[in-house]
């Protein structure tokens, strides 16, 4: 409670030899000597306790109560230092409420609190002030305190200016009374005021008060600066707003408003767009709405961004196609080795475009293992056609808005990646590669693959509508190329819209050509080397391909060449090496020991071991199938980490061999008293698929008939219970593996004869490829026949040989 200002004067009373005084607890204020304090009693018991006190004569002890109910205080709640207070006035407002005005006197030390009837009393003794020994220092301190107080009043709005006069008039009252006066006036916490009351040395008390005031002066200065800066900022904004309003009025009068100029510019540009009248009217309404909005509003920015996006799209800009078929063929052959089917398809598109003059772009899908050049082929096709190239990877995309965009009403809305790409490329007929389409995701935000259905449908993409644009955009002039590793992972509806072109892995000869013509020059250039400084001979390159990489493409091959280039570059810098020739003999010093060991065909025919061919994502591999028999009860055991399809192939092969036991010379009792164990080595690798049936049947027939299997014959194909060999996939990769494993003859299904046309002449010359229609045909090629049957077997084999020959193979080797 703030003391009354006109009563801030010294109090000259004493104890009048009183040792016991009634106690008035002070809940949130501290009463100093000479100060007036008004408190309110808000309980019926408290009002009753004070009724016997007479105004102007009664004295009480005013002590700070640190907690509890003020009107029903307990001794434990009261401070031990207080003041003797004169009851100046007692105003009873109601039976349970009264106003009490106290004037502070001398300090008291409560020796004991006790109850005397309904009221709390205290046995007290006075606390005399400590006299100052240095009057000059005390005077200077009083003057300093008065000066600091005036600065405080000047800077702190909590103090009234009339306080300055009260303080000045009290400068001559002495340091003790002046300190108590300032302590009662300044804003401090209750704990700080109580601490000052308990400080008996007036010099120490006044020094502490000065420190409190100086701290408040600094705080007030900071608050004043902040307030002034805030006011200046507000004034500046008000001034700018006023000036801008004046400028707008002047521009309106002169007919030179920038908003009107912008609106006119939008209308003029919209008129030049090849849009239907409905959509043009829709956009004009947006422009008219823009003219009515303030530039500072959020809708203004949304509408303006939308209009800018519409106007930035290449509605009529087209790149002129280069329809020179011969030049395009040369460019494709220069940039890519092989890939004849893809090149032919592009050249066919160019030929039709040259004849017709206008052709909707096809939707192609390059499917093949990683690293075979699907994406880079798209860039080369764009160069051959003279079109701009755009690439969009959708691998892992799960939000449909990435394709179709967000509605412009959303905060931070933007068009989809397709529209953004067209804005960036600036033409309506680029070559657009959508990468990794088989790895597109799907979640609660939509299905991006479904959004691509409209994009990749030649019958619909002439009116693709992005949610942000809300206006159809023609994509039909774009040549879309998608890439995928596995066609099975593409949703059926999307796959149905794609013209699939399969890119198989490269064989060693193709990789050698690619490394020599393309990879090595690019790597040397990227590492600051020239062919004179680093040369990798063909034998070393072939060893890198065979022993340090296991892939269908050439990415790892490029990394290995780069690893050699880095080591050579370091030696040139550190050792002053002039040049380096990498050969097969010193290759290990650059790449370490060989990382891969490929299976090779056996050295001699063996009973119960057949050589199969497998396809993997890294290319082809040969696979040995082992079979052995032992005395038992006719049980069949299969091991080797196999999938369900392959286990079923084992059962089918065993059943067919059993049905042909007589032709193979197998005693019928063998199936009842002999167990057979079929094993697929490399158990750590999961093996599955429907292409090993003929090799499994050959291994079983060999072990049960005791006829060795030729070690230089490999085979692939699934069989039926009628003995028919079914077609398989990945034939090229399998033949590559057979050639690498030094196999001379390969048995393939008759249904795969059409795939042999894709093989290079080099491959055909290195392998003798035999097409077999039935399992017996494969047995004639692989099982060493019984004595006397060589002539018929040879005649039958010559009928089935479809590629290669002994002389050609000998010349190749």
Does the active-site annotation cover 691?
yes
* Contact yes or no for 50/95 (Cβ under 8 A): no
* Contact yes or no for 373/336 (Cβ under 8 A): yes
The secondary structure of residue 528, as a DSSP letter, is T
| Among 361, 398, 355, CA closest to 378 | 361
Does the active-site annotation cover 734?
yes
Write the CA distances from 465 to 269, 415, 454, integer angstroms.
21, 10, 9
* Contact yes or no for 36/179 (Cβ under 8 A): no
Alpha helices in 366-471, H assignment, sequence order: 374-385, 401-404, 417-425, 448-455
Beta bridge mates, 65: 78
d(CA 404, CA 406): 7
Q: Where are the beta strands (DSSP E) in 632-753?
A: 636-639, 674-679, 713-715, 718-719, 725-726, 745-749
The secondary structure of residue 529, as a DSSP letter, is -
Alpha helices in 255-313, H assignment, sequence order: 258-271, 277-291, 298-312
d(CA 200, CA 182): 15
Please identify which residue in the block is written with the tokens 């100060």. 35
Exactly one of 560, 734, 744, 764 is catalytic; name it. Answer: 734
User: Dihedral of the CA atoms 206, 211, 214, 219 (nearest 10)?
Assistant: -130
Within its chain, how far is the Cα of 780 from the centroid?
59
The count of C-alpha atoms lying within 13 angstroms of the C-alpha of 562, restricted to the half-sphere facing its C-beta, is 13
Q: How many CB atoms lie within 10 A of CB 56?
A: 10
Beta bridge mates, 621: 614
* Contact yes or no for 290/306 (Cβ under 8 A): no
SS3 384: helix
* Contact yes or no for 107/33 (Cβ under 8 A): yes
Q: How many CB atoms lie within 10 A of CB 270?
A: 19
* Contact yes or no for 25/78 (Cβ under 8 A): yes
Instruction: Please state whether 592 falls in left (phi above 0), alpha (psi between -120 and 50) or beta.
Output: left
User: Dihedral of the CA atoms 232, 237, 239, 245 (nearest 10)?
Assistant: -170
Q: In sequence order, what are the residues at sequence separation of 6 or more whose Cβ sits closer than 8 angstroms to the Cβ of residue 589? A: none
Exactly one of 380, 558, 649, 691 is catalytic; name it. Answer: 691
Q: First CA to last CA across the chain, in angstroms?
A: 113
Beta bridge mates, 614: 621
| Among 390, 389, 385, CA closest to 321 | 385
Token pair, residue 603, equals 């050295």
d(CA 530, CA 523): 10
| Among 433, 323, 343, CA closest to 388 | 433
Q: In sequence order, what are the residues at sequence separation of 6 or more whose Cβ sits closer than 8 angstroms to the Cβ of residue 745? A: 710, 712, 713, 714, 767, 768, 769, 770, 781
Catalytic residues, by residue number, are 691, 734
């Amino acid at each position: 409670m703030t003391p009354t200002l006109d009563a801030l004067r010294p109090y000259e009373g004493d104890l009048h030899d009183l040792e016991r005084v009634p106690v008035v607890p002070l809940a949130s204020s501290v009463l100093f000597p000479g100060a007036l304090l008004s408190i309110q009693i808000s309980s019926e018991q408290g009002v009753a306790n004070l009724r016997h006190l007479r105004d102007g004569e009664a004295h009480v002890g005013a002590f700070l109560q640190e907690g509890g109910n003020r009107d029903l205080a307990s001794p434990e709640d009261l401070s031990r230092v207080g003041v003797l207070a004169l009851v100046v006035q007692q105003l009873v407002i109601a039976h349970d409420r009264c106003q009490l005005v106290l004037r502070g006197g001398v300090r008291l030390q409560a020796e004991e609190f006790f109850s005397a009837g309904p009221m709390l009393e205290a046995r007290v003794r006075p606390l005399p002030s400590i006299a100052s020994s240095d009057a000059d220092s005390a005077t200077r301190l009083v003057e300093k305190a008065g000066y600091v107080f005036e600065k405080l009043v000047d800077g702190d709005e909590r103090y009234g200016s009339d306080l300055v006069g009260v303080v000045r008039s009290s400068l001559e009252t002495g340091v003790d009374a002046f300190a108590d006066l300032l302590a009662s006036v300044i804003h401090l916490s209750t704990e700080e005021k109580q601490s000052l009351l308990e400080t008996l040395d007036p010099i120490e008390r006044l020094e502490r008060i000065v420190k409190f005031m100086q701290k408040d002066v600094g705080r007030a200065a900071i608050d004043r600066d902040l307030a002034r800066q805030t006011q200046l900022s507000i004034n500046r904004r008000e001034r700018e707003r006023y000036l801008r309003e004046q400028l707008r009025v002047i521009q309106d009068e002169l007919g030179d408003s920038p908003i009107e100029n912008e609106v006119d510019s939008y209308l003029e540009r919209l008129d030049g767009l090849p849009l239907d009248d409905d959509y043009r009217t829709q956009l004009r309404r947006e422009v008219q709405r823009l003219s009515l909005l303030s530039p500072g509003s959020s809708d203004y920015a949304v509408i303006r961004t939308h209009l800018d996006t519409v106007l930035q799209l290449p509605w009529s800009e087209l790149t002129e196609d280069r329809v020179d078929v011969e030049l395009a063929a040369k460019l494709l052959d220069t940039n890519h080795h092989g890939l004849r089917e893809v090149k032919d398809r592009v050249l066919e598109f160019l030929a039709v475009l040259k004849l017709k003059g206008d052709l909707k772009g096809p939707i192609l899908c390059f499917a093949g293992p990683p690293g075979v050049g699907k994406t880079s082929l798209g860039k080369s096709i764009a160069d051959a056609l003279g079109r701009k190239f755009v690439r969009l990877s959708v691998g892992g995309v799960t939000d449909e808005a990435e394709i179709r965009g967000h509605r412009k009403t959303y905060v931070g809305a933007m068009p989809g990646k397709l529209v953004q790409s067209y804005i960036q490329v600036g033409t309506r007929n680029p070559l657009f590669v959508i990468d990794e389409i088989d790895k597109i995701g799907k979640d609660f935000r939509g299905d991006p693959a479904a959004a691509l259905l409209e994009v990749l449908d030649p019958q619909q993409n002439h009116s693709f509508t992005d949610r942000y644009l809300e206006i159809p955009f023609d994509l039909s002039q774009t040549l879309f190329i998608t890439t995928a590793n596995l066609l099975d992972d593409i949703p059926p509806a999307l796959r149905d819209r794609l013209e699939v072109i399969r890119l198989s892995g490269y064989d060693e000869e193709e990789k050698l050509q690619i490394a020599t013509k393309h990879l090595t020059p690019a790597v040397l250039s990227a590492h600051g080397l020239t062919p004179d400084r680093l040369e990798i001979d063909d034998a070393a390159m072939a060893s890198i391909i065979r022993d340090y990489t296991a892939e269908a493409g050439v990415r790892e091959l490029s990394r290995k060449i780069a690893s050699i280039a880095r080591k050579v570059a370091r030696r040139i810098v550190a050792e002053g090496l002039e040049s380096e020739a990498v050969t097969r003999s010193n290759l290990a010093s650059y790449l370490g020991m060989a990382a891969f060991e490929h299976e090779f065909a056996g050295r001699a025919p063996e009973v119960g071991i057949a050589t199969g061919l497998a396809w993997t994502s890294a290319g082809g591999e040969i696979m040995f199938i082992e079979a052995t028999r032992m005395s038992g009860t006719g049980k069949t055991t299969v091991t080797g980490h196999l999938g369900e399809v392959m286990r079923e192939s084992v059962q089918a092969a065993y059943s067919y061999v059993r049905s042909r036991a007589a032709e193979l010379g197998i005693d019928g009792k063998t199936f009842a008293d002999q167990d057979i164990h079929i094993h697929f080595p490399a158990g750590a690798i999961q093996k599955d698929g429907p292409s090993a049936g003929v090799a499994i049947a050959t291994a079983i027939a060999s072990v049960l008939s005791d006829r060795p299997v030729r070690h230089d014959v490999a085979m692939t194909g699934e069989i039926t219970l009628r003995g028919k060999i079914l077609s398989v996939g990945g034939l090229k990769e399998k033949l590559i593996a057979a050639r690498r494993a030094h196999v001379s003859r390969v048995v393939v299904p008759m249904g795969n004869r059409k795939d042999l046309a894709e093989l290079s002449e080099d491959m055909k010359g290195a392998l003798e490829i035999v097409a077999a229609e039935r399992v017996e045909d494969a047995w004639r090629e692989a099982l060493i026949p019984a004595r006397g049957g060589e002539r018929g077997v040879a005649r039958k084999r010559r009928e089935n040989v479809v590629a290669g020959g002994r002389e050609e193979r000998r010349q190749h080797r």
